[in-house]
Amino acid sequence: MSDTRTAETDTSGRAIAELLAAHGHEVAWQAIVRDEPLEVRALVETQLARPDVDVVITTGGTGLSSRDRTYEALVGLLETRIDGFGELFRALSYGEIGAAAMMSRACAGAARGRVVIMLPGSEAAVRLAMTKLILPELGHLVREVSR
């Protein structure tokens, strides 16, 4: 989710796709959308309706600036929050960036029997979340949420 990224500059989105593929997961779809709440929500709802999608991972729009609106657009879709994800992500981020970690609204939850994860736009933050939290538990998350 970005007002400024292009396919060439979206290193965070590329990192997510590459890490998922490297761990044997299929990337069903990838796109860049402006951080406009209605567009973000419509895009994620479309993906949640697809039978071949188990997980939706977004990057960007989870900070505190006036243009960071992914959190507001999507948190209402979550039927169940995975509070530990955000807590652990911020704890790990604190070790990397210090107190600025408190400004992240990265979160995860379940919607329509699928996992939804909202990550910051920073490639370093994405790699941290993917390697330390998401990839080690992704299969388990999907099994639990789809039961």
Instruction: Give the pairing type, strands 114-119 and 80-81.
Output: unpaired
- Token pair, residue 60, equals 């960007």
Residue 4, pLDDT score? 80
Answer whether 0.85 is exceeded by the pTM.
Answer: yes
In a domain, 127, yes or no: yes
Q: What is the DSSP letter of 1?
A: -
Task: Tell me the pLDDT tens digit for each residue of 76-113.
Answer: 999 999 999 999 999 999 999 999 999 999 999 999 99
∠ at Cα 59 (30, 20), nearest 5°?
Answer: 55
Q: Among residues 125, 42, 142, 55, which one has the least CA distance to residue 86?
A: 125
**Helix, strand, or coil (residue 27):** coil
In a domain, 101, yes or no: yes
The confidence band for 27, taking pLDDT boundaries of 50, 70 and 90, is: very high
In a domain, 83, yes or no: yes
- Whole domain around residue 15: which residue ranges? 11-146
Mean predicted confidence (pLDDT) in 63-77:
94
Mean predicted confidence (pLDDT) in 48-63:
96
- Token pair, residue 2, equals 């970005």
The confidence band for 5, taking pLDDT boundaries of 50, 70 and 90, is: confident
CA distance 43 to 37: 10
Query: What is the domain count for the chain?
Result: 1
Task: Tell me the pLDDT tens digit for each residue of 31-51.
Answer: 999 889 999 999 999 999 999
In a domain, 5, yes or no: no
In a domain, 62, yes or no: yes
Residue 95, pLDDT score? 97
Which H helix or E strand runs over 136?
A: helix 135-146
Residue 121, pLDDT score? 94
Q: Which CATH number do you get for residue 142? A: 3.40.980.10
In a domain, 90, yes or no: yes
β partners of residue 58: 118
In a domain, 98, yes or no: yes
In a domain, 103, yes or no: yes
